[in-house]
Amino acid sequence: MKTKQLKFIATTAALTFAYAGLVGCGGSKASSGAASAEQESELDAPPTDSVGAVGLLDLEKDTLKFGFIKLTDCAPIVIAKEKGYFDDEGLSVTVEAQGNWKELLNRVITGDLDGAHMLAGQPIGATVGFGTQADIMTAYSLDYNGNGITVSNEIWSQMKPNVEKGPDGKPIHPIPATSLKPIVDEAKGAGNKLKMGMVFPVSTHNYEIRYWLAAAGINPGFYFDPATGQVDVPGFLNGDVELSVTPPPQMPQTLEQGTICAYCVGEPWNQQAVFKKIGVPVTTNYDIWKNNPEKVFGVSREWAERHPNTWIAVTKALIRAGHWLDAKPENRVEAAQILSKPNYVGAPFDVIKNSMTGTFEFEPGIDVREMPDFNVFFRYNASYPYYSDCVWFLTQMIRWGQITEQKPDKWFDEMAKKIYRPDIYLKAVGALVADGHFTKETFAEAFAASESGGYKPATTDFIDGRSYDGAKPNDYIKSFEIGLK
């Protein structure tokens, strides 16, 4: 399919040369040796255009439909549409809110959606066959951070005396789950385990609330018991609490009804609890794992192989949107206004604005803090799909029994390179630089990441100070006191 409009006329060779020159500065898979044999396909060819346009690729499909869940971290998709970045790539895009994460994933698999705002764990869980089996890939990380853990007012009143406080009388953050443990123990002893919500079994939220609880000696439960071979779909086995799935927009209502007493969710649904005076956020995922990957833009392998240039064009538009979101504070205010529309997130502007502009309210009217990195869309190389991020999710799937067999370190690397596609990201970067939208210096961290093999350095930026090295996943899994090994 020919593109609708040509912005610059050049030769195909010129675009290929521009891209090759850029990655020669430190980003090609040839220089890093990071790409797997699985990636040696038509997707790895340079962007092509039979009529030689630099600005627009020869799109295999130019009318697309994307899905999203009503959360603020769908922002890059929404902004790419509202600011015309999809249009600039010759793409006519509609975006549709989905009822829940399972529905969203299924519609991508069936082809009803061309791509979607996904939980970072969804492409991974689908590919390894936990729940639904399908090959899903991502070339773009939508954001870092953006989640919180909120407890009911009743639970907070019991936790608060256990929370360490500073000279100003306010809680010292991060608040560990040790302040919750006596309440958990009492409820379990009475035969009435605390019920908590998370958004999906392979969601960052599930792994984050589990991490937070387990770091304090609270067992969140397992999906598999290797001693008996028992599989438990809800993941309650041997748990001190019960974690169940609740769609994000329904979290505040479910908390208010008393069905759950705590939840882990993305924004704006933690701040909504504050505004409604029904709960208190006690920590954010920035404090559980600093600059953790939260959502990705996912497509099926079948779709990607049929539409390689379209995938690059979509990635180009998303990169521009992520950059715009982090470019200046006033853009975040405008984004909050856009997201508050009923066809997008549909929450009040003031609720969305809080976290989007770097302010997070914990205890209402008492504990309000500046958190400039609560939402990150481009800074810190946030949109680059690191293999090590994928590996972390795989370690948690094994830790909690979603993957029932132990795997060698090599397997983690192979799976990451099957699912995460930084090579596609870098092709989009090369085309954006060739188009004149950015200089290559803007993406210095991305080129450096590719040159180093697509893995972040080892980090201890977790609430328990534990070291994570993506190149040594089994050492990491074995380091946990609570978890399958």
Residue ranges of domains in the chain, CATH in brackets: 12-144+294-352+374-476 (3.40.190.10), 147-291 (3.40.190.10)
Residue 248's Cα: distance from chain center in Å?
14
In terms of Cβ atoms closer than 10 Å to its own Cβ (0-12, 13-18, 19+), residue 181 is middle
- Cα–Cα distance measured from residue 203 to residue 208, given in angstroms and rounded to the nearest whole number: 9
What is the H or E stretch that residue 93 is in? strand 92-97
Quick check: 473 and 406 in contact, CB under 8 A?
no
Cα–Cα distances (Å) from 113 to 66, 85, 105, 117, 300, in that order, read 6, 19, 9, 11, 10
Q: Are 130 and 403 in contact (CB under 8 A)?
A: yes
The two structure tokens encoding residue 97: 């809110």
Which secondary structure element, helix H or strand E, spans residue 115, and what is its range?
A: strand 115-119
Task: Tell me the residue ranges of DSSP E strands in 253-344.
Answer: 262-266, 279-284, 293-300
Residues of the chain with pLDDT under 50: 2-42, 44-53
Question: Where do we find the tokens 């991305």?
Answer: 446
CA distance 188 to 269: 27
Are 52 and 8 within 8 A, CB to CB? no
Helices (H), 135-214: 153-159, 181-189, 204-214
Tell me if 130 sits within 8 A of 202, measured CB to CB: yes
Look at the alpha carbons of 240, 217, 264, 143 in this order and tell me if their dihedral is positive or negative. Answer: negative
Asked if the bond preceding 174 is cis, omega within 30° of 0, the reply is: yes
pLDDT value, residue 118: 98
CA 86, CA 236: separation in Å to the nearest integer?
Answer: 43
Q: How far apart are CA 304 and CA 279, in angstroms?
A: 42
Q: So what's the pLDDT on residue 242?
A: 98
Cα diameter, the chain:
74
The two tokens of residue 354 are 């809080």
Q: Does the pTM of the predicted model rise above 0.85?
A: yes
CA distances in angstroms from 333 to 42, 95, 246, 338, 484, listed in the order given: 41, 21, 29, 9, 44
CB neighbour class for 290 (10 Å; exposed up to 12, middle 13-18, buried from 19)? middle
